[in-house]
Amino acid sequence: GNSVTQMEGPVTLSEEAFLTINCTYTATGYPSLFWYVQYPGEGLQLLLKATKADDKGSNKGFEATYRKETTSFHLEKGSVQVSDSAVYFCALSDPHSGGGADGLTFGKGTHLIIQP
């Protein structure tokens, strides 16, 4: 079956530091890959996505590249801000996996804390 593994937190960084949150996946088909962010008290929001190998998703200074050879989709940002403090979820959608159609398979989430 499908699975997503991401680094467990919390991850604590100083403002303006470089961020990497690792994410690897296993899938039976050709999944689309996503990063969702959950700010305190809010629902999950789509941060970025990539639908095929070598695609790069980007948004709000965050980037992630779909690496099929390493089955990875690591999230990066060059200079984090306090406002980036949130929980980040890596996820995949694999319509060909059967079962629940194309519902998302999530990692456990990584709590990111940015200190001023």
Partner 1 sequence: GAVVSQHPSWVICKSGTSVKIECRSLDFQATTMFWYRQFPKQSLMLMATSNEGSKATYEQGVEKDKFLINHASLTLSTLTVTSAHPEDSSFYICSARWQGLETQYFGPGTRLLVL
Residue with tokens 């995949």: 92
Q: How many CA atoms lie within 13 A of 42 on its CB side?
A: 12
Q: What letter represents residue 101's amino acid?
A: A
Position 15 contacts partner 1 (CB under 8 A): no
Position 25 contacts partner 1 (CB under 8 A): no
Q: Of 74, 109, 112, 114, which one interacts with partner 1 (CB under 8 A)?
A: 109
Query: Measured between alpha carbons, how far is 20 from 42 in angstroms, rounded to an integer?
Result: 23
Query: Stretches 44-52, 53-61, 62-70, 71-79: which one binds partner 1 (CB under 8 A)?
Result: 44-52
| DSSP string over 38-85 | E-TTS--EEEEEE-STT-EEEETTEEEE-BTTTTB--EEESS--GGG-
Site map 48..87 versus partner 1, x via CB under 8 A: -x-x------------------------------------
Position 40 contacts partner 1 (CB under 8 A): no
Residues that bind partner 1 (CB under 8 A): 4, 32, 36, 41-46, 49, 51, 89, 93, 99-109
